[in-house]
Structures are given as C-alpha cells and as structure tokens.
Amino acid sequence: MTPAAAVRSAAVSPSTVRAARAAVRRQEALAAYALLAPYLAAFIGFMVAPSAYGLYLSFTDFRLGAVHPRWTGLDNFAYVLTDPLFRTTVGNTVVFVLESTPALIVVPLALAVALNQRLPARAFFRGAFFLPFTLSVSIVSICWWWLLDPNFGAVYFYLKELGLHAAPWISSPHLAMAAVVLATVWWTAGYNMVLFLAGLQDIPLHLYEAARIDGAGGWRLFRSVTLPLLRPTMLFVIVIQLIASFQVFGQVYVMTSGGPGNATRTVIQYVYETAFVQLQLSEGAAAAWVLFLIILVFSLAQFKLFSGHTEY
Amino acid sequence: MAVVGLGRTAARPRLLRVPATTVLTVLGLAALAAVWLLPLVWIGVTAFKPAPEIIHLPIRWLPVHPTMHNFAVALTTNRTASIGRAFLNSTVVAAAETLFTLAVDATAGYALARLEFPGRRLVFAIVVASIMVPFQVTLVPLYLMFEHVGWLNTYQALVLPGLSRAFGVFLMRQFFLALPRDLSDAARIDGAGPLTIFARIALPLVRPALAALGIFTFLRSWNEFTWPLIAISRNDMMTLPVALSRLLGSFFVEYGIVMAGALLAALPLIAVFFIAQRQIIEGVALTGLKE
Amino acid sequence: MGRGRRRFTRRAFMQGLGAGAAAAAGGFRWGGAVRAAGTVTLSFWNGLTGPDGRVMEGIVADFMAANPSIKIEQQQMQWTDFHTKMLTAIPAGQAPDVAIMHTYEKPRYVQSGALTEFSDAELEALGFRQKDFAARAWDGGMYQGKRYSVPLDIHAMCLYINNPLFKSVGLWADGKPKAPTTQAEFLAACQTLTHGDHYGVAWLQRGVGWAFQMLLWQNGGDMFDAQGEPTLDSPAAIEAMQFIQDLNKKYHYTPEGITGNPAEAFQTSKIGMAVHGDWLTPAFVAANMDFTVVPAPTFFKRRVVWAGSHQFYLPVQRRPDNAKREAALVFIKWVSDHSLAWAQGGHIPARTALTATPGFRARKQAALLADAPYWHFMPAVPKILVEESLITAAQEQIFLGRATPKEALQALNDQIKRARI
C-alpha cells in the first residue's frame, strides 16, 4: 500500500462507512416494510379492526338495520354473564377441551412414534390414519351420529349382538360429549400425527444410537430421548390444539345441535345463536370477548407451564 | 412373511432379525387401522344402497341391490347447492387462500426473521399474540364489515379473513431464521439488495416449508365450516362443508345421498394425500417447528 | 343526524379494511347468472328439508319445464338455519325473490321490516279468492290488517300407527288398527304394545315441541300472553309436560333416552305409535313401511289439533324488480294450481276444491280432514322463534331426568323472557 493510499483510506473511512451503513440500513428497513405491508394490511383489516369493532359493538345495543346504536356500557356483558345458558356453554367447552386435548396429543403421538419406524406398509398406515381428515366436518358428524344412534346405529347393534348393555351414547348428557370427542379424535388425530411425525424426523438418529449403546430401550428411549427432544413440537401442537378445541362448533352443530338438553352446546354455538339466530349481535360480540379472555388465561398458563422446562 | 420366518430357528438368520416388537406393532396397527377405516367403509357402502336398505336391522354391510341413484341425486338436485358446484367453490377458495397466504406469510416471515428495522420486535410480538384471538371474536364484526361493502356471498369474503392468521408468518419466520447467515452475507457483498436476496436466495431454500404451509392452509380452508356458514347464503357460493350439511333434513336424513356427496367430495383429496404424503410429512419436518 | 352518526362510526372501521374495498365493490363470483335473453331467474328459499322437500324439488322441475322463461334457483335448509339466513340476508340486500314460511313468523319479520304486502291487484292476478281456500289458512296470511302471505297447504299433527305391531298384539279389527282417541285408550294401547324391546310410543325429537304445544292447548293453556311474553310455566303447561314425561319415566312406554333421529326409529319397527306432523308420510312410504295415519288423540279435556300452514312470501328487495315480482306470482299461482302434487309431501292442499278430489282422498293424510274444526295454529308473536329454538333442549332436560317439568319449563320461560326482541 502506498502511503498516499493509506492516508486516503484512513481519511474517508469513518464517515463514509457510517454513511454507507446508514444507507444500507435505510434500504433494509424500506424493504422490510414493503415485504411486511401485504400481511399487515390483512392483519389490520381482518384481525385488528374487526376485533376492535367487536369490542366497540359489545358496549352498544347494535341491531341489524337499527339506525343508531347507543352506548350501553357493560350491559351486554352483564346479560351474557348472568345467562345460565352461557355458563352452561362455558362449562361444556371446558369439558370438551379437557377431554379432547389430551386424547388428541396421546393418540397422535403414539401413532407417530409407531409409524416413525421402518415398518412394512408404513405409507399405507400413515394414509389410513390421516384419511378421515379429508372429510368435511358435516360428514364426520352425521356418520358418527348414525353409528352411535341407540336405536339403529351399528355400534349399538354390535354391542347388543355381543350381549353387552348398549349405552345410549348420544342420548345421555355425559356420553353425548364423549361421542363428540370420539368423532373429533377420529377426524383430526391424523393431522396431529403428521405434525408429530415431522417433529420426530428432526431428532438426530445418532442420539438414539448413543442411548441404545447405554443400554436404553423401548420405553426408556422414548422417555429420555424422544419426549425431551419433541418438546417444541409438543408445545406447538398443544397450543394449536387447545385453541382449536375451544372453537369447537361444526361437530356439535351438525351432530347434536347442542343437545341433549344443552349438554354439548359450546360457547361458539352460543355466540352464533345469540348473534345470528336471535340477532342480538352486540350480545354475541360480548360473549366472544368473554371467551377470548378465558382462552387467554388458559394459553398463558400453558406457556408458563412449558417454557419452564424447554431446553432449546 | 416376517411372521412366518419368526418361528423358525437358526436356519434363516436374516428373518430372525425382524424383532418381535415390530411384528406386534404391525399387527396392532393393522387392527387399529381396520377399525379406523370402518366408518369410511360404512360411508362408502351406504352411498350405493337404495333407500329401504339403509336404515335396516340387522345390519347388512353390502348393498343387496346396489344403485348409483344417490350419486345422481347428489350431483343434480335442485334442493340446495349441487355437490359439483360446491366442489368448484371449495377448490377456488382453498387454492386462492393458499396462494395468497403463501405470498403474504413468506414475505412477512422473511422481514421478521432476517431484516433489521425499527419496530421489528413489537410487530412480531403483536402478530404472535394474535394466535390466541379466537375466530369468534371477529365473527360478528367481520360479518357486518362484509355486509357493509356488499361482499357477502363472494369469494373474497371466504378468502380474505384467513390471510390475517399469524400461524404461517410464525412458521415462515422460524424457517428463515434457520437458514445459514453466510449465504445472504455473501450475496450482500456482491451488491445484492434485500429484496433480491429474498427472492433469489432465501425463497428457493424454503420451498419445503412453503409446501407444508400450503398443505396446512389448503386443508384448513377446505374444512372451514363456521365462517362460510355465516358469510354465504346463496347456493351457488356454498363450499362443500356447508353444502353437505344442507343435505341433512330436520326430520329425516337421506343418508344415501349425503354419503354419496361425501364420497364425491373426499375422493380427490384422498387421492392427493396418497400420492403426496411423503412430501407432506417431509415438508412439515423441514419447517422444524422449533423455537 | 342519528343515522349519520352510525354511518360515520361504521365507515371509520371500514377504512381499516384496506384492500381497496370500494374499488372492487360488487364482489367477485365465479360465473354468476348467465341468462338467456328474456329469462327471469328467481331465488326461492324454503325450510322443506323433510321428505316433502323432495316433492317440492319435483314440482320446481315441472314448473321450469312448463315455463322455460322462468328459472327457479331453489334453496332448502332446516327451519332454524332458514330464519337465520332470511333475517340476515334481507337487510343485507340478498333476499330471495320468493320464500315459503308458516304463518306465525310474521311479527318477527314485520318487526325487521323484511316483508312486502300482496296488493289487491296482485291477488287478482293470482286469481286467489277467500272462498277457494281453507279459512284458517287464508286468514293466517294476514297480520295487523295486511296480507303478507298466501297459503299453499295445511299440515297437521297426526298419529302414525305401525300396522304389523298393532296386528301382532290384537289391536286390529275390520281390516284396520284400533286407533286410540282418548288419553285412556292411548295409555291402554301403549301398555298392550310395550313388551321386551318393543315400545308403545316415541316422542320424536324436534317434533316433540309441537306435540307439547298441542297437549298444552288441549289442556286449556297457551304459550304466550297478550303482550307476547311466554306463559310456559303455567300449571296447564307443567301438567302437559308431566304427561309426556310419565309415558317414559312412570309407564316406560317410550324407549329410554332420546331417539336420535325420529323417522328412523319408527321405521325400524320397534315402536307402535308416533305422534308427529303429517309430513313424515312420504318417508315411511318410501321405506316400504306398512302404516296407518289417523287423527291425533285428545289427551286432555279439549279437542285441539296442532296445525300449521305453509305460505308464500315476497321478501323486501333492496332493488325491487317488477319482472321478478311478476314471475314470482306466476310461480306461486302454478304451484298452488298443482298443489295436488304437493300432497305427495304428506300435506293437505289449502285449496278446498282439491281436497275434495279422489286424487287427494286416496292419500293417507285425507283421514285428517275431519280435524279441520279443531286445527290450531302456533301463536303469531315475535318471540315464537325464540321458543322454537329453545324448546327441544328444555324437553331433553326433562327426558334425561336432569330437571323436573316444572324446573325445565320455568328455565325455558325465563330464557324466552330474557331474549331482547
């Protein structure tokens, strides 16, 4: 390097580099905003704005075709919270969540672990367990409702052939929810299975081999290698499943219409019926916000529970 | 074959290596899969049964007088949405929602993962938190908004709300984060701008993630029930889940027709799954789903 | 002023929509209505999802064959969905051109400003005159002195009898079943029919609400007071409900639990009798059942028979279209003229001339014409639709033993009172 060149470079570098860096940063920020813009437009337009609008509605006496909604304060929340039907539906929803979420973790996880091995006809099995998910919720519901019918359903018929007392599934309040859970597990277990299979494929094989050399096998392998390394997938599936379970609607709407005797009526059905059947839209919006707060509590508890253990 | 070989002794050492647990697993899975598939078989055989054979005790699995009548009715009925039309609607909606979701989620995910800009952490926090907002919070207001602009009974009413979901942005961000930094650094030194790096380098590398997100989005959209039930009131705009539920009567269910419709609706998806299942699972696996 | 304020607040939110909403106004639909020149397309909604819906499907097809210039796009959905769709679609400017409902929904719809009146000129064009129709059905088209609907049919509650089961227990004479007509006879028949896996009667789900209404009227009570508020916790109502419960819990004449789907249960031949509307007739015919339709018994002190009438309505349109309205009248007249075909759906034509024809007399439900003096329609009050959506759950609570008739009816009454309509 000539002395002159060295002087030149030393002279320009601090300010020029700073300016160049600022330009790059500006360019990068502009690019970032441009890339974010389409999503944020959708996010604000179809998530933030409607949520805020819904919150506003829930403080008014808005009616379809009504000329000017009045501000009614907490009146709609009082209406919802003092409605015995709302309390019933919250209870039912929590029961559904507590029954379906564990089943939709354990069953798919077991299937995924089994089908992650080298097995004959593995592709067929994966397909078989996933297959119900390709059906519409209406069909899943009507098919199970029929199979479980105490008078002419196949399940009832075969139980009786075997000389067993056939429980009147759908017509008993406790079993009706179990029937909805059963249909839901059958329908969506394959989806969660795929998520778990994906998680399992991320676990490096050498970890298993190392554990095997240490003498671990079967159950211990599962507990000491699979389960800990699957934790991120697990957290993800649980949260997604929890939120999906809280929003259960199609199954009960088609299968039981909320019956027998409100035993399977869920919160989203309450929101739907209040807002769109009875056309009390602002009360429906208020009920939805109450549900949101309930989900928030559940989800935060879930995060807290899991983040304490996550090793990633 | 393995089952037979298992009982033999030293004569067939290679077969011996098939562990008993594998055989048991396969047998267990086969039994479970048989039970799992029975309701589907029930749907299939019912679709071919004439009305008097459908509600019948004792139960007979195979139709005595098989008929195509149910399929004809499901395809041509003027009572409600035709299954063919609903199939078209579902395809258009699910395909459009998938394409748009991939576009907006990939760009947003990249920006949040790899670009520096003021407000990045805040935007990400808000977007991720929105995963917890249940759909029913936006149900009533979305209905009123779409009513106001006259968009009820349109494809955009069915497609647009789904684009606001944070799930895909989160997924894509995770995947972009996992890409090695050196690649983009090298490109930057060569003078490539952020948009060029995104389009030319990052995007091709996340193809499997896009495939997985695409499949998730397509299936979710395909099975969506609540929102189309509310946003659509016209036959010719109904998607399959709503159209099929409309085949159910208040007092009397014509199971044959419903099941025929169900079969017609499910066949293409079943075919796609069996052809593409490896890509689906690997695609999902590659996204990592990790923090 | 007030209107302006609301517009403003809503618009403020709309601007958040982004996506250039205004530019694309009108929306995008695949295809859309491709019309041949001179063809009018009518959307026609109804809640005829029972077997009668199939009959209407045939009538619509025949109409279009006979009137190539009018295309009917029919949409059938269950009644609850139907009212949900109607009451939201009409203010959204998506109303169907013509619809079939009953008589009792009028107050709720008129309250929402959803219905148009038939003018005298239009009635003239239809050629509909009072003397040609069953009086109750004709009068049911009026509300607050205005004609909002014209009748198609009358449907009534009846007693379905399973012939082989009646024969097998000796309830058969002179080639027909010995049908019960009083509570005592009904209970005796139930007792004879109930043995082993066979039961005397089933209260068919979703129809049991109407059966209860009939029993309530027969017992001298009513569902609403003069102000349109519910009186479903009255002693007469509790007694009627108690009777329904006793058939199960006290006498065990009905199967335990709740029958999933009504028609199928009767069809499997485990049940001797069913109390339900006449519209299930075609389903049992299609299933090759051997059955008889007779008038519903008098369970209490008064002879009252639950009945209703399907009527044609012309909902309010955002953009009224004379051509469509005229086509709708042509359609209504044609279906009314052909309502003998509609009788295949199990119903009784509202046109008295048609009920006298041999074609109608040969139908099973012709036996129900004798009940005409006792027909009682559901009360036309706004909250009747709330009652319709809640009664099934209340009754199921009772059947399941989770509530006494008194508790369940009290809760139902409170629930209907709460509704802000």
Look at residue B55 and tell me if it is in a domain: yes
Interface contact flag, C92 B156, Cβ < 8 Å: no
**What value does the mean pLDDT take over residues A285-290?**
95
Pick the range with the lowest mean pLDDT from A50-64, A108-122, B154-168.
A108-122
Which residues in chain A are closer than 8 Å to C9, comparing Cβ atoms? 56
Interface contact flag, B160 C77, Cβ < 8 Å: no
Which residues in chain C are closer than 8 Å to A38, comparing Cβ atoms? none
Residue A187 sits at the vertex; the CA angle it makes with A186 and A191, to the nearest 5 degrees, is 105
User: What residue type is B69 in one-letter code?
Assistant: H
- pLDDT-above-90 percentage for chain B: 40
User: Cα(A194)–Cα(A48) distance, rounded to whole angstroms?
Assistant: 31
Look at residue B274 and tell me if it is in a domain: yes
Interface contact flag, A29 B42, Cβ < 8 Å: no
The answer, yes or no, to whether residue C70 has pLDDT greater than 90, is yes
User: Cα(C228)–Cα(C225) distance, rounded to whole angstroms?
Assistant: 5
Pick the range with the lowest mean pLDDT from A197-201, A243-247, C23-27, C57-61.
C23-27
Same domain, residue pair B143 and B49: no
Same domain, residue pair B146 and B248: yes
Cα C351 to Cα A81, B178, C121, C333: the distances in Å are: 50, 76, 20, 12
User: Cα(C398)–Cα(B189) distance, rounded to whole angstroms?
Assistant: 77
Whether B37 contacts A128, CB under 8 Å: yes
The answer, yes or no, to whether residue C17 has pLDDT greater than 50, is no
Whether A195 contacts B284, CB under 8 Å: yes
Whether B286 contacts B212, CB under 8 Å: yes
Residue B166, domain CATH? 1.10.3720.10
Same domain, residue pair B171 and B134: yes
User: Cα(B60)–Cα(B56) distance, rounded to whole angstroms?
Assistant: 7
Nearest CA in chain A to C411: A84
Strands C172-173 vs C176-177: parallel, antiparallel or unpaired: antiparallel
Look at residue B1 and tell me if it is in a domain: no
Strands C375-376 vs C305-308: parallel, antiparallel or unpaired: parallel
Look at residue B12 and tell me if it is in a domain: no
Question: Interface partners of C (3+ CB pairs, < 8 Å)?
Answer: A, B
User: Cα(C398)–Cα(A244) distance, rounded to whole angstroms?
Assistant: 32
Q: Which of C49, C37, C35 is nearest to C263 (CA)?
A: C49
Mean residue pLDDT of chain B comes to 84
Whether B100 contacts C19, CB under 8 Å: no
Q: Which of B36, B67, B98 is the last residue of a domain?
A: B67
Q: Which of C341, C339, C363 is nearest to C351 (CA)?
A: C339
Same domain, residue pair B118 and B33: no
User: Cα(C83)–Cα(C218) distance, rounded to whole angstroms?
Assistant: 28
* Closest-CA distance of chain A to residue B11, Å: 23
Under DSSP, the state recorded for C51 is: H
Whether C237 contacts C216, CB under 8 Å: yes
- pLDDT (0 to 100) of residue C5: 39
User: Cα(B256)–Cα(B68) distance, rounded to whole angstroms?
Assistant: 10
Residues A102-150: pLDDT tens digits? 999 999 999 999 988 888 888 888 888 988 988 888 889 888 888 887 7
Same domain, residue pair B125 and B50: no
Domain containing B25: what range?
A: 21-67
Nearest CA in chain A to B215: A191
Residue B264 sits at the vertex; the CA angle it makes with B260 and B269, to the nearest 5 degrees, is 140
Residue C14 sits at the vertex; the CA angle it makes with C9 and C17, to the nearest 5 degrees, is 150
Nearest CA in chain A to C111: A65
* Closest-CA distance of chain A to residue B285, Å: 4
Pick the range with the lowest mean pLDDT from A49-58, C164-173, C181-190, C273-282.
C273-282
Residues A69-106: pLDDT tens digits? 899 999 999 999 999 999 999 999 999 999 999 999 99
Same domain, residue pair B221 and B111: yes
B66-104 b/e (C-beta count within 10 Å ≥ 16 → b): ebeebbebbbebbbbbbbebbbbbbebbbbbbbebbbeb
**What value does the mean pLDDT take over residues A284-310?**
79
Q: What is the ipTM of this complex?
A: 0.84
Same domain, residue pair B49 and B162: no
B153-185 b/e (C-beta count within 10 Å ≥ 16 → b): bbbbbbbbbbbbbbbbbbbbbbbbbebeeeebe
User: Cα(B119)–Cα(B147) distance, rounded to whole angstroms?
Assistant: 34
**How many domains does chain B divide into?**
2
Nearest CA in chain B to C83: B233
- pLDDT (0 to 100) of residue C248: 85
The DSSP H or E segment spanning A176 is: helix A173-201
Which of the four pLDDT bands, split at 50, 70 and 90, describes residue B174? confident
Count of CB atoms situated within 10 Å of the CB of A220: 13
Which one has a higher pLDDT value, A139 or C375? C375
The answer, yes or no, to whether residue B231 has pLDDT greater than 50, is yes
User: Cα(A89)–Cα(A266) distance, rounded to whole angstroms?
Assistant: 5
- pLDDT (0 to 100) of residue C371: 94
Same domain, residue pair B167 and B119: yes
Answer positive or negative: Cα dihedral of A208, A209, A210, A212.
positive
Which of the four pLDDT bands, split at 50, 70 and 90, describes residue C334? very high
Strands C70-76 vs C98-101: parallel, antiparallel or unpaired: unpaired
Which of the four pLDDT bands, split at 50, 70 and 90, describes residue A154? confident
DSSP string, B40-74: HHHHHHHHTS-HHHHS-SS--SS-SS--SHHHHHH
Pull the structure tokens for residue C419: 């509704």
Look at residue B140 and tell me if it is in a domain: yes
- Rg (C-alpha) for chain A, rounded Å, is 27
User: Cα(B56)–Cα(B65) distance, rounded to whole angstroms?
Assistant: 14
Answer positive or negative: Cα dihedral of C44, C46, C52, C53.
positive
Which of the four pLDDT bands, split at 50, 70 and 90, describes residue A168? low
- Rg (C-alpha) for chain B, rounded Å, is 25
Look at residue B14 and tell me if it is in a domain: no
Q: Which of B43, B91, B90, B51 is nearest to B69 (CA)?
A: B51
Same domain, residue pair B95 and B61: no
Same domain, residue pair B50 and B145: no
Residues C276-317: pLDDT tens digits? 999 989 888 888 899 999 999 999 999 999 999 999 999 999
Pull the structure tokens for residue B250: 């208040």
Which of the four pLDDT bands, split at 50, 70 and 90, describes residue C2? very low
* Closest-CA distance of chain A to residue B15, Å: 14
Same domain, residue pair B48 and B125: no
Look at residue B9 and tell me if it is in a domain: no
In this complex, the residue of A49, A85, A151 whose CB is nearest that of residue C270 is A151
Q: What is this structure's pTM? A: 0.85
Interface contact flag, A173 C411, Cβ < 8 Å: no
Q: Which of B75, B71, B83 is nearest to B44 (CA)?
A: B71
Look at residue B195 and tell me if it is in a domain: yes
- pLDDT (0 to 100) of residue C26: 41
Same domain, residue pair B49 and B92: no
Task: Provide CB contacts within 8 A for C373, sequence distance 6+.
Answer: none
Q: Which of C112, C165, B186, C403 is nearest to A84 (CA)?
A: C403
User: Which residue in the block uniquely carries the two structure tokens 């389903």?
Assistant: C283
Cα B141 to Cα A208, B165, B224: the distances in Å are: 51, 16, 18
